[in-house]
Amino acid sequence: MLPNMKAMIANGISFLIDDNATPAEDYSSDQRREQAMFKELLNRCPGLPKELLRATQEEEDEVVGNKLKRGVACARSDDTKNLKKEILPWIAVDGNLQNLNPQLHRNVKTNRGFHHPRTGQLLCPVDLDWKDADIRRDTEHTQAPASFG
């Protein structure tokens, strides 16, 4: 379900270089899926396309192997205790925690992550449809990050 980051980046770079010269139907469904995820990654990391296009293979491996891994590690290591107060109002669509169903409380973690409809929606990979009951069931039992292999 989650991509191999190196393959996704390599496929994405090929996609950038191709610049839509190849029709979408010429790509496999896996390649199209990786391209969609790569586009989303580029949307979230504005300087990344230029860095990847000018990178040598060794530098590309550095970007994938270290920078993205480091970004993931830093994101995980943020002090959630300090973030809890700030995150809860943000995830409530209108900022009102009372409107979350079931409600989320600052001091209770048991119903968060993929176990809660709103936090699960926010954590769901961009290429999956959170409204699909099978996707919700499958993601509720996974914690595996994307592979960097």
Q: Kindly indicate the confidence band of residue 131, based on its pLDDT and cuts at 50, 70 and 90.
A: very high
Residue 147 has pLDDT above 70, yes or no: no
pLDDT at 47: 79
147 beta partners: 4
Percent of the chain with pLDDT over 90: 2
pLDDT, averaged across the chain? 77
Q: What would the pLDDT profile of 83-106 be if each residue is shown by its tens digit?
A: 666 777 778 767 777 778 888 887
Separation between Cα atoms, residue 84 and residue 26, nearest integer Å = 45
Report residue 53's pLDDT band, with 50, 70 and 90 as the boundaries.
Answer: confident
* Residue 140 pLDDT > 80: no
Range with the largest mean pLDDT of 53-57, 106-110, 114-118: 114-118
Does position 34 have pLDDT exceeding 50, yes or no? yes
pLDDT at 79: 59
Spell out the SS3 assignment of the chain. CCCEHHHHHHHHHHHHHHCCCCCHHHCCHHHHHHHHHHHHHHHHCCCHHHHHHHCCHHHHHHHHHHHHHHHHHHHHHCCHHHHHHHHHHHHCCCCCHHHCCCCCCCCCCCCCHHHCHHHHHHHCCCCCCCCCHHHHHHHHCCCCCCECC
Residue 3 is encoded by which pair of tokens? 């991509």
Residue matched to tokens 């996974």: 142
Question: Quick one: pLDDT band at residue 132, thresholds 50, 70, 90?
Answer: very high
**Among the ranges given (31-45, 67-81, 131-145), the one the predictor scored with the smallest mean pLDDT:** 67-81
CA pair distance 67, 53, nearest whole angstrom: 16
Average pLDDT over residues 16-39: 83
